[in-house]
């Protein structure tokens, strides 16, 4: 099993900004084993305008909307912001006191998220990492 498994969600307290916004949840979309391996991650954002979207893939808007409990700790509708790929090095996740690994999304959900990505807006480097983790 890889040190970091595709679909693992994590909480980053450092994503907190000076305006005192909440810490951020992310989902990692590839496996990683070596300290310098990159993990492509997408940030979660509470969805206040659920009237504008449907649960699941909203491809044109590059949002994947989760309903409460799709991931056990989610209590509100939440969008995964597929338009804003971020990256972490595995060592950051393993060694940081401010990042906490949480549960892994289930396989079906994970594949739906992956299929919702508009690859034209994902760096070529990241696309390859994601592709290699879904073989």
Figure out which of the listed residues 6, 57, 122, 130 binds another protein, where binding follows CB under 8 A.
122
Figure out which of the listed residues 13, 59, 111, 125 binds another protein, where binding follows CB under 8 A.
125
Asked if residue 13 binds another protein (CB under 8 A), the reply is no
**Residue with Cβ nearer another protein (97 or 108):** 97
Which string of x and - marks every residue 73-112 that binds another protein (by CB under 8 A)? --------x-xx-x--------------------------
| Structure token digits, residue 48 | 């206040």
**Interface residue list for another protein (CB under 8 A):** 14-15, 17, 21, 24, 43, 45, 49, 60-61, 81, 83-84, 86, 119-125, 128
């Amino acid at each position: 099993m890889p040190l970091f498994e595709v679909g693992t969600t994590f909480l980053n307290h450092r994503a907190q900004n000076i305006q005192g916004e909440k810490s951020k949840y992310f989902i990692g979309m590839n496996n990683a084993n070596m300290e310098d391996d990159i993990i492509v991650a997408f940030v979660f954002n509470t969805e206040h305008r659920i009237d504008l979207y449907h649960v699941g893939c909203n491809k044109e808007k590059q949002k994947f909307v989760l309903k409460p409990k799709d991931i056990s700790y989610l209590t509100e509708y939440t969008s995964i912001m597929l338009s804003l790929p971020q990256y972490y090095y595995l060592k950051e996740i393993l060694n940081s006191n401010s990042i906490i690994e949480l549960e892994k999304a289930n396989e079906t959900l994970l594949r739906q998220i992956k299929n919702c990505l508009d690859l034209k807006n994902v760096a070529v480097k990241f696309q390859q990492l994601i592709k290699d983790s879904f073989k």
